[in-house]
Every structure is written in C-alpha cells, then in structure tokens.
Amino acid sequence: MAMNPSDKKLGLDSADALMAQGPNALHSYVADKVQAAMGKAMPQMEVRFKDLSISAKVFASRHSDPKSQLPTLYNSVKKSAAKLNAKNHTAEKMILKNASGVFKPGTITLLLGQPGSGKSSLMKVLSGRFPLEKNVTIDGEIT
C-alpha cells in the first residue's frame, strides 16, 4: 500500500514529505524551530550597496617566460630582489567597479558573472569577510 506524502509528519526524518511540500518547506521547518527556541520572530534584514568599488595594487611582473615562474632558488632570489624595487612595477587591478544592488529579505538572489568578475569578492565584502590589507581599497556605501 503506497503512502500519500501528505500523510507523513513533517520532520527531519521524513525527507520525502519535506520534498513533497516544496522548496521552502525545510526553511519554514527550521525557522519555526529556531523561532520557538528563541521565543521571538527571526530578524529580517535588507542589504544595500551603492557604487561599491574594490581595487588592489598588485605586483606586475615583466617576465612572461613560464620558466621564470618555477619555484627554484634562483627565481625565488630574483623575485625577492624584484619586490624590493616593486614600487616601480605595481599596477592597480579593479576587482569591482561601481556596483550597486539590493538583497531583500525572503528572496533568493542568483549572482552570475564570468570567472574573475568579482562575485566572490562582492559576497565577502558584504559579509565582512574580505581580507583588508594596505594594498586594497574599498569605496562605496554598504547599509
């Protein structure tokens, strides 16, 4: 005898019932349990960013020879010596340029872009996990 998926109790032990309820069933189940444990509603938050730009000053190598990139003792010494004179060989790399957007509560946002377009950097900056170093500049508003 086949069981109707709606006859199963919604819980972590019934994945079939969870999937039959739709994609938001797990979120609702967990949110209800957390709200019951906290004794109050889950906070809603909207994230806005305007004219967000990230740039970094990076060392620009003049050597395009693949052999110069091998980790040999000679190349290590050569790179160390070049870093002493690195001020002449730095270039500014724009990671993000004037990006603006809003992430609204209760929505799922898909972030698409080509490799190297700054998707991970954007998410790290918005979450406060971007490594801040002296060669990195972040401009714009995040609220």
pLDDT digits (tens, 9 = 90+) for 85-143: 655 667 899 999 999 999 998 788 899 999 999 999 999 999 999 998 999 999 999 99
Q: Is 55 exposed, middle or buried (0-12, 13-18, 19+ CB in 10 A)?
A: middle
% of residues, the chain, pLDDT over 90:
38
Number of domains the chain contains? 2
**Does residue 139 contact residue 53 with C-beta atoms inside 8 Å?**
yes
pLDDT, residue 1, reads 44
Distance CA 33, CA 85 (A): 59
Are 100 and 117 part of one and the same domain?
Answer: yes
What is the domain range of residue 98? 47-142
Distance CA 45, CA 75 (A): 50
Are 20 and 83 part of one and the same domain?
Answer: no
At 80 the three-state DSSP class reads: helix
pLDDT digits (tens, 9 = 90+) for 59-98: 776 666 666 667 788 888 887 777 776 556 678 999 999 9
For the entire predicted model, the pTM comes to 0.60
